[in-house]
Chain A
Amino acid sequence: MSEPILETKSLSKAFGGLVALDKVDLAIEAGKITAIIGPNGAGKTTLFNLVTGVYPASDGEILFQGTLLKDTPPHRRAALGIARTFQNVLLFGNMTVLENIMTGQHPRSRYGFIGAALRLPKAHREEETISLNAMKYLNMVGLGTYAEQNALSLPLGQQKLLAIARALATEPQLLLLDEPGAGLNKLEKQELSDLIRRIRENRISVILVEHDMPLVMGLAEWVIVLDSGQKIAEGTAAQIQRDQRVIAAYLGEEVE
């Protein structure tokens, strides 16, 4: 097994008296699609937020490619190669579809206020690269014809694809997808699956939080199950489906 791209050691997070994550140990393999599943409130989004640095952990460590992430702010982690999407999408509604993706190129470009203000040639060259790269990601998710439209004019399914394209534009090594399938119809979910596989083929590691079991079981090469902030099982999709503890945790939850 190759070196894990992401590791957590005894990771814990409490909000006041509420324990969201309780001593979670993870080792995510590089280059694979890993799914994290669990009933609502299991701590999945909290985990994402800790990994991306939205708030600090109460206890434990997070290692990305072997490096300890301590007080690293979110924008630095993006530059290091961790990208994510959000449950509530969070597109930039004041920009076009293409501009959203171009903004995603931010950590891979350099010029700043001075270059912009004075329209230096370096800035111009970087802009061309940004545009080209953005178009590439736009086409990769299949939204090529919508480039000039306002981002929010797209239906939800395509907005989610746009969000993924924007995250891809940061040229990450690790992509965290937070419920990308929520609110999508069957066809859109199929497109999403295909896209995630293409992402994996580009040697980007994917961690997927999802509730849609068929989607997860069809995609994931490794499944981790959280419940009430603790890891209760992990294994291949087949192993998880037979695990008694997992079934018990989901009892009472809607099974698709």
Chain B
Amino acid sequence: MSADQFLQYLISGLTIGSIYALVGLGFTIIYAVTRIINFAQGEFVMLGGMLSFYLISAAGIPLGPALILSVLIAAAIGAIMYLLAIRTARKASVVSLIIITIGAAVFIRGIVGVGWGVDAVRPPYFTGYKSISFLGAYIHPQDLWIIGTTLVVVVLLHLFLSYTMVGKALKACAISPVAAGMVGINPRAMALIAFALAAAIGGIGGVVMAPSIGIDFNDGFKLGLMGFVAASIGGFKSPIATVIGGLTLGIVVSLAVGVDWGPFTSAYKDAIAMTVLLLILLIRSGRLAAEERES
């Protein structure tokens, strides 16, 4: 493999890894604040992409407003999902919540499939389609949008969590919901914000990603799985680790798919990611079990 090729794989890895990172951030935010794994996280990415397409092409809304609107709608759906499905299930067990979020994911996917059909769609590129040459490799402008937007989101998120009242309240909930409650933070309001925020971030991911490789109603599942791997690398606690995890995963997948490993074709990429996931879970399981005993 030449240096040029490696660079190419690196770029495409960072690109797709950015999406994984965004999905992973969504998982991390919701889990940190509510201890719930939101299996519908991937669907928000899908919604972001789908919404941007239909707002632009069917409703004729110009690009900028359409993107913003898509993200807002995704956030709203996240909030509604929390209010209708999660909050009403008071004191539900972990397993019940898992099934509920899966139900929500399946429901959202089904509605999109019914309402907008099963075919893939692709919204227009943000700034054209001519690839830029860079150190012997080619970068597509949309890829730059993806990577750039992810960077901006990560920075904004960090600022939000560290310097705003709401952000600090979210962090407090993540550390201890009980203690947070005692200083006057309403955990349910925080949960609502967490869901909306996670959905928005997912939506942003979908919005920047869709012009690049298109989107169809099934994509939520795969992206969700990948994002979960990224989040589990971050231990569902650290946004930075999640992002690094996502980017790393993206690069690993890109190399696994692109390079000729013999019989392992690109179809295996999901299987490889899942194996990585299982390995991570296995490594963590020992520590998890010990922690739980002592609590």
Contacts and interface: CB of A to CB of B under 8 A. Distances in A.
Q: Direct contact between A and B in the complex (CB less than 8 angstroms)?
A: yes
A15 interface: yes
A27 interface: no
Interface residues of B, number: 3
Contacts of B294: 15, 55
A19 interface: no
Contacts of A55: 290, 293-294
A54 B293 CA distance: 7
Contacts of B293: 54-55
B264 to A, nearest CB: 40
Contacts of B290: 55
Contacts of A54: 293
Nearest to B293: A55
A55 B290 CA distance: 8
A54 B294 CA distance: 8
Nearest to B290: A55
Nearest to B292: A55
Interface string A1-36: 000000000000001000000000000000000000
A15 B293 CA distance: 11
Interface in A13-69: 15, 54-55
B287 to A, nearest CB: 13
A206 to B, nearest CB: 26
A193 B42 CA distance: 59
A15 B290 CA distance: 12
A87 to B, nearest CB: 15
A34 B81 CA distance: 56
A203 to B, nearest CB: 32
A56 B290 CA distance: 10
A105 B293 CA distance: 24
B188 to A, nearest CB: 26
Interface in A65-84: none
Nearest to B294: A55
Nearest to A16: B294
A34 B57 CA distance: 80
A3 B293 CA distance: 32
B51 to A, nearest CB: 45
A54 B290 CA distance: 10
Interface in B241-295: 290, 293-294
B38 to A, nearest CB: 29
Interface in B9-41: none
A15 B294 CA distance: 8
Nearest to A74: B293
B278 to A, nearest CB: 25
B247 to A, nearest CB: 32
Interface in B118-177: none
B14 to A, nearest CB: 38
A40 to B, nearest CB: 18
A230 to B, nearest CB: 21
B275 to A, nearest CB: 30
B175 to A, nearest CB: 15
A168 to B, nearest CB: 25
B119 to A, nearest CB: 48
B93 to A, nearest CB: 13
B291 to A, nearest CB: 10
A54 B295 CA distance: 11
A225 B294 CA distance: 24
A45 B159 CA distance: 44
A15 B291 CA distance: 10
B292 to A, nearest CB: 10
A198 to B, nearest CB: 33
A119 to B, nearest CB: 31
B289 to A, nearest CB: 11
A4 B133 CA distance: 81
Nearest to A54: B293
Interface string A232-255: 000000000000000000000000
A55 B293 CA distance: 6
A90 to B, nearest CB: 15
5 contacts: A15-B294, A54-B293, A55-B290, A55-B293, A55-B294
Interface of B: 290, 293-294
Q: Top 5 A-B pairs ranked by shortest CB distance?
A: A55-B293, A55-B294, A15-B294, A54-B293, A55-B290
